[in-house]
Amino acid sequence: SAVISQKPSRDICQRGTSLTIQCQVDSQVTMMFWYRQQPGQSLTLIATANQGSEATYESGFVIDKFPISRPNLTFSTLTVSNMSPEDSSIYLCSVLLSGRSYEQYFGPGTRLTVT
């Protein structure tokens, strides 16, 4: 498995501002993912972040709203831009361990409230 940390663990933000969430892994991984988890709904994949290439966004998510950086094999950031109350959610990063293509491991999540 992998040890994954996220910062911040929670935040309350004003409408119209931006928040950057950090994800740190204790080992080098090729693929990292960002998910959103809203109450009563499935985890929804926002984007896949591979080191050395542009992030791949899922339908309904755009780079201007959720820019992602992946500067190295152990770190990624997700920014939630120009926030509205609808962005209130839990944001989770996950990693795919090299050689274990079906096992994703999740961080503890960032609980975001937009007022």
Partner 1 sequence: QKEVEQDPGPLSVPEGAIVSLNCTYSNSAFQYFMWYRQYSRKGPELLMYTYSSGNKEDGRFTAQVDKSSKYISLFIRDSQPSDSATYLCAMSAIGGGGNKLTFGTGTQLKVEL
Binding residues (CB under 8 A) for partner 1: these are: 1, 4, 31, 33, 40-45, 48, 92, 96, 100-109, 111
The partner residues of 20 in beta bridges, in order of sequence, read 79
The CA-to-CA distance between both ends of the chain, in Å, stands at: 36
Beta carbon of residue 94, minimum distance to partner 1 (angstroms, whole number): 8
- For 38, the token pair is 């809203």
Q: Which is nearer to partner 1, 33 or 66 (CB)?
A: 33
Beta carbon of residue 114, minimum distance to partner 1 (angstroms, whole number): 19
The partner residues of 106 in beta bridges, in order of sequence, read 94
Determine how many CB atoms are found less than 10 A away from the CB of residue 14.
Answer: 8
Beta carbon of residue 85, minimum distance to partner 1 (angstroms, whole number): 21
